[in-house]
Amino acid sequence: MNAFQATLLVAGKDLRMELRSKDSLNAAIAFSMAMLVLFSFAFDADAEQAREIAGGLLWLIFTFAGTLLLNRSFARELPNDCLEALLASPLPAAGILFGKAVSNAVLLLAVELICLPVFGIFYNIAWTRQWLPLLAVLILATWGMSVIGTVFSALTVHLQLREVMLPVLVYPVLIPSLLAAILLSAHLIGGQPLNGDTYAWLRLLVGFDVIFTLLTGAVASKVLVG
């Protein structure tokens, strides 16, 4: 079985497990909604201000919600030694990691796509004017978060302080991608099309994803065998 088939297999398994139990998904959605409400009190913004802070607000929520999902990614394999079984299987290490990254990205994207309309209603913002580039930004930034988060989730799965360590490791690495996502999202939610300056940030986002995806592929066997 090649790495691509293994990726699809592991992603399918993880998504099936999550959709049957909905443990992390429900928690992430409930958390995001609570944050949306809290932020509305914290900033008390009118429509114009809300558009300006939209990028930062949304990506803070997505990042925190993402950590909830990512923490469970490998931790759910711990009972009954499922992780050992997964490692002992003939699946290539890169397939396992990318499979989990894909499943995390899909789940996080689902949370984001639920949050956006709710955000639009709560804050009275028409966010759909540049929906296609916005979707591209969401996918790119979410993939970066998922692929890095999955690697670090694997590194921290055996630690006692797992839930604490994951954000400490993931957030600093994610900052360049998050900055790009925040800026681009605010720009696009404001209804402005991509232009010269924002393309530079988009390039940063794409470059970030490419570099870390390749890096993950390169170190995959070291991450999981350890």
Q: Which residues bind another protein (CB under 8 A)?
A: 148, 151-152, 155-156, 158-161, 165, 168-169, 171-173, 175-176, 179, 200, 204, 211-212, 215, 219, 222-223, 226
Minimum CB distance to another protein smaller for 132 or for 196: 196
Alpha carbons 114 and 91: distance in angstroms, whole number: 33
Q: Which residue has the tokens 């299987």?
A: 89
Q: Which amino acid is at 122?
A: F
Shortest distance in whole angstroms from residue 212 CB to another protein: 7
Q: Dihedral, CA atoms, 173, 178, 180, 184, nearest 10 degrees?
A: 170
Tell me how far, at minimum, the Cβ of 141 lies from another protein, in Å.
16
Q: How far is the CB of 106 from another protein (least distance, A)?
A: 23
- Which CA distances in Å does 82 have to 23, 74, 103, 162? 18, 10, 17, 18
CB 195 → another protein: shortest distance, Å? Answer: 16
For residue 140, what are the contacts with CB-CB under 8 A and spacing of at least 6?
181, 202, 205, 206, 209
* Contact predicate 163/69, CB 8 Å: no
Distance, in Å, from the CA atom of 123 to the CA atom of 35, rounded to the nearest integer, reads 13
**Closer residue to another protein, CB minimum distance, 9 or 206:** 206
Query: Of the two residues 118 and 204, which places its CB atom closer to another protein in the complex?
Result: 204
Least distance from another protein to the Cβ atom of residue 143, Å:
16
**Residue number with CB closer to another protein (132 or 161):** 161
Q: Which amino acid is at 1?
A: M
| Min CB(207)–another protein separation in Å | 9
The number of residues making up the chain comes to 226
Residue 127 or residue 201: which is nearer to another protein going by CB? Answer: 201
Q: Which is nearer to another protein, 28 or 223 (CB)?
A: 223
Query: Measured between alpha carbons, how far is 43 from 156 in angstroms, rounded to an integer?
Result: 35
Q: Which amino acid is at 89?
A: S
Nearer to another protein, 37 or 215 (CB): 215
Residue 184: CA count within 13 A, CB half-sphere: 30
- Minimum gap (Å) between residue 226 Cβ and another protein: 4
